[in-house]
Chain A
Amino acid sequence: MAYGFQVLIDALSLGSFYALAALGIGLLFGVLRLINFAHGDFITIGAYALIVPSAATQATLLIGGFHPLFLIPSIVGIVIVVALISEFAVFRPLRNASPATLMIGSFALGYIMQNLVIMIFGGRPKAVGLWSDLNLGVQIIEGVQVPQLQLIIISVTLALMVLLVVFLKRTKYGVHMRAAAEDFRMARMLGVQANRVIMLAVAISGMLASAVSLLFVVQTGILDFRMGVPLMLFAFIATVIGGMGSLVGAVVGGFTVGAVSILLQTFLPSELRVFRDVFVFAFVILVLVLRPQGLVVSRSAKERV
């Protein structure tokens, strides 16, 4: 029972990372039809923004040393600015390009950002201790200790999802964004400002990335210029098996991939555990064979009569 509970919390917290990253990818896919492979690098930049920019092997906290009330908005702001710069410098000039061109553009952008990180911070991983106390365990029910951080990750993710839903359902610009995601041309013919909607989606996507930056750094305590890449990859897989173009699908996919990873981690025989990702990807292929349209079919992706 206690063991099962621990596995559940592990699955939910890993799934949270994937779901948050998948939402960031899904939002941009909705309005831009762009699969943003640089999303993981937004996460990386948010993490590196915590320390003094230098190639020294020892990381010195800069923004990371501030009070959380200042630290969190700073990191969120920095990632949003980076995301908006990407929009102006890369995505907007490619606005009328094919989705494949856009995707390759985002790959290039990702590589540029990784190399900028190497140039400024050096290529070696660095240890950072940000709010490491949060990794201490807390007892939630009799006999079950889980790191406080996991509960924070899950709550932050839930809170951000609720906020996103409220924004999309209850605000004017949220409704415009949903309309644009479904039929961009029609939304524009009704006067919805294309660039404004896209910039808003890019900014929200950056905000979601920065949340992953912070939570992930606290959990791992390590900065690496490739740290965002596996997160992006799993989040991308999450959006695909969840159903491209559906935000609910992105969340469902994120938690599914997280749960499958943790279950395999827990129940695979130890000699196979190192190959866990092979099994994760086998599961992904299985889902795609059985449900090529994804777990949640986006109504906007369906053919309409």
Chain B
Amino acid sequence: MLLEVDNLHAHYGRLTALRGVSLTVAEGEIASIVGPNGAGKSTTLLSISSVLTPTTGTITFAGKTINGLSPEAVAALGVSQVPEGRHIFATLSVEENLLVGAAIRKDTAAITKDRERVFELFPILAERRKQSAGKLSGGEQQMLAIGRALMTNPRFMTIDEPSLGLAPRIVDRVYDVLLELRASRGLTLLIVEQSSERALRSADKIYVLRNGEIQLSGAASDLRDGEAVHAAYFGFSEGQEGKVDF
């Protein structure tokens, strides 16, 4: 397993955010965590990036325990994150944002090559390379956030709600790119989404997270009809009537 999260507990003050989350992502796999607002999805991702310190539990990446490391050390191991809200550096230009993404790397030739690849992936960014990132539209900012995360040359990338606030057409484009990245360079992905429908379509493996606990997990192919996912998502018990469209 490339990533193993084992029995993760996390608190914000007295508020419990995670109660024993365990999950695994294999090399080259696309895993997805779905769940309602406040389920602990972002907390899980921020713990993986070592921005938050979990109360207990271990996170292992490529055989190495990474919780307790600094966020920059985790990034240096090849873990990259596109956080919720994208967190673009608004006062920096598009190019400078990408340059920050290459902070851990020394090889300037490879950095320039990767930047050109990002521009090929998202031509609109090439057009706006000198513009300050704060002036980009929401979709363009999402592309920049993904491009910037790619500039770290990651083995593993986590993405927090890539479709939030974006037009469906843009969301399709974002997912196309993510699938392409997996195909072309074997990038392993952990994608957090609120909508399970999108996750079921693109991921290999699904985790349903609610109230800080994994309610359901399994291969996406086994969960394709969505009934079990719906039930886990909303917390209906077996056999209970609950028809909700989402």
Of the A-B pairs whose beta carbons lie under 8 Å apart in the complex, a sample of 27, sorted by A's number, is: A172-B99, A178-B89, A178-B92, A179-B92, A182-B90, A185-B51, A185-B71, A186-B83, A187-B89, A187-B100, A189-B75, A189-B81, A190-B101, A190-B104, A190-B152, A191-B72, A191-B75, A191-B76, A191-B152, A192-B100, A193-B72, A194-B72, A299-B90, A299-B91, A300-B90, A304-B85, A304-B134
| B58 contacts chain A at the CB level, 8 A cutoff | no
B91: contacting residue among A172, A185, A300, CB under 8 A: A300
| A39 contacts chain B at the CB level, 8 A cutoff | no
| Count of chain A to chain B residue pairs whose CB atoms are closer than 8 Å in the complex | 75
The minimal Cβ–Cβ distance linking A300 to chain B, given in whole angstroms, is: 5
For B, the interface residue count at a CB cutoff of 8 angstroms equals 28
Bound: A234/B179 CA distance, A: 56
Residue of B with least CB distance to A300: B91
Which residues in A have some Cβ–Cβ distance to B below 8 Å? 172, 175-176, 178-179, 182-183, 185-194, 299-300, 304
The minimal Cβ–Cβ distance linking A205 to chain B, given in whole angstroms, is: 20
Contacts of B90 in A (CB 8 A): 182, 299-300, 304
| B70 contacts chain A at the CB level, 8 A cutoff | yes
B89: contacting residue among A172, A186, A188, A194, CB under 8 A: A186
Using known A-B contacts A182-B90, A300-B90, determine if residue A188 contacts B134 with beta carbons closer than 8 Å: no
Bound: A300/B92 CA distance, A: 10
* Further 16 A-B residue pairs, CB within 8 A, beyond A182-B91, A191-B103: A175-B100, A176-B100, A178-B89, A178-B96, A183-B89, A187-B103, A188-B71, A189-B51, A190-B75, A190-B104, A190-B148, A191-B104, A191-B152, A194-B70, A299-B90, A304-B85
| B87 contacts chain A at the CB level, 8 A cutoff | yes
The minimal Cβ–Cβ distance linking B99 to chain A, given in whole angstroms, is: 5
The contact string, 1 if C-beta is below 8 Å from chain A, for chain B 72-100, is: 10011000110101010111100011011
A contact face: mostly helix, strand, loop, or mixed:
helix
**B49-A190 in contact (CB<8A):** no
The contact string, 1 if C-beta is below 8 Å from chain A, for chain B 143-184, is: 000001101100000000000000000000000000000000
**A190-B134 in contact (CB<8A):** no
**B71-A189 in contact (CB<8A):** yes
Residue of A with least CB distance to B79: A189
Bound: A179/B94 CA distance, A: 12
Bound: A52/B99 CA distance, A: 47
Residue of A with least CB distance to B95: A175
Bound: A194/B75 CA distance, A: 12
Bound: A193/B99 CA distance, A: 14
**B100-A189 in contact (CB<8A):** no
The minimal Cβ–Cβ distance linking B107 to chain A, given in whole angstroms, is: 13
**A188-B72 in contact (CB<8A):** yes
Bound: A299/B101 CA distance, A: 21
**B134-A299 in contact (CB<8A):** yes
Bound: A299/B132 CA distance, A: 11
Contacts of A191 in B (CB 8 A): 72, 75-76, 103-104, 152
Residue of B with least CB distance to A178: B92
A188: contacting residue among B70, B101, B151, CB under 8 A: B70
